[in-house]
Homo-oligomer: A and B are copies of this chain.
């Protein structure tokens, strides 16, 4: 497998030559702005890696890799409008910098462009690719809808939460890898196994995200620690604590949903509950569980350690662990 650095350079070069239409500027400037905000480019990397892992030509996967990142950024653009989030990666979101209509329309154009890039590869791969890509897109919408539903519900279960993050986050991680495998011409059972690997990987990523919001350091992850607690967001940590709170559930819930407490006090009190219910170690165990299941999926494929090591060590590094 080519090195992580090599694949990432391919992705960087591709985004430099994105070649967006120039007119109307009101439509395409926000698209360029969004793509310039950067990010880890995790999904394009997984798509290229998935292609390479099964002996495909990475060249064939470049456009679909751009497509998957365009799609991901389109969902962020529309989500930021729906969530009324003023900032993304430290910069103004599109609906704030321009206006809501521009955010809607620029997002729509990005999704169309994403499909065009997805269909620039080996002709034989395109039918499966387009179906998987757009099925995944529908599921991501479903995940966002469940997430919005959860905001006004007080009876969200952990199972429902896991299903929501599967849809909102994991399926796109999984589809990135599977798209790569499809481009490489891998057998359908192989494609399904790498998809399963991606689902567990995506769940682990999201649970790690929930954990780091509370226990990660601000400098390292670029997010305000405790942002989810301040917002009263129903995360894995919150839902697990509710499950364990028993007769303290009402007190904990009213603390967590408080909008009057100052941030530091709220965070510290919530963290006391988390400590009492051992939420940090329970969450780490859930992350480990998903990661182990991911490893089982990838090890079921007839690939050598040498073949899988670069992908696995990259994924492990994203979760702050050795592999």
Interface of A with B (CB < 8 Å)?
21, 23-24, 26-27, 75, 78, 81-82, 100-101, 104-105, 107-109, 111-113, 115-116, 118-120, 123-124, 126-127, 130-131, 133-135, 137-138, 141-142, 144-146, 148-149
Contact = CB atoms under 8 A, between A and B. Distances in A.
A119 B115 CA distance: 11
Contact of A141 (B112, B119, B130, B148): B112
Nearest to A124: B123
Given A116-B134, A119-B130, A134-B115, A27 B108 contact: no
A113 B138 contact: yes
Contacts of A111: 108, 111-112, 137
A64 to B, nearest CB: 12
Most chain B beta-carbon contacts within 10 A, residue among A75, A78, A112, A144 = A112
A24 B142 contact: yes
A116 B141 contact: no
A114 to B, nearest CB: 8
Given A27-B142, A142-B24, A105 B119 contact: no
18 contacts: A21-B138, A21-B142, A26-B149, A27-B145, A78-B108, A82-B101, A82-B104, A105-B141, A108-B108, A108-B137, A109-B138, A109-B141, A111-B111, A113-B134, A115-B133, A116-B135, A120-B131, A130-B130
A24 B141 CA distance: 10
Contacts of A145: 24, 26-27, 105
A144 B21 contact: no
Copies in the complex: 2
A34 to B, nearest CB: 15
Contacts of A135: 112, 116
Given A116-B131, A119-B131, A141 B26 contact: no
- Interface secondary structure of A, over-half rule: helix
Contact of A27 (B101, B105, B115, B141): B141
Contacts of A137: 108-109, 111-112, 115
A75 B108 CA distance: 9
Given A101-B82, A111-B111, A141-B108, A146 B116 contact: no
A188 B121 CA distance: 20
A19 to B, nearest CB: 13
The 3 closest A-B pairs by CB, nearest first: A112-B137, A109-B141, A119-B130
B105 A130 contact: no
A82 B105 contact: yes
A123 B131 CA distance: 12
A62 B162 CA distance: 37
A10 to B, nearest CB: 22
A290 B141 CA distance: 41
B138 A112 contact: yes
Given A105-B145, A108-B108, A119-B134, 13 more contacts: A24-B145, A26-B148, A27-B142, A78-B108, A82-B101, A107-B108, A108-B141, A112-B134, A115-B134, A116-B135, A118-B130, A119-B126, A120-B131
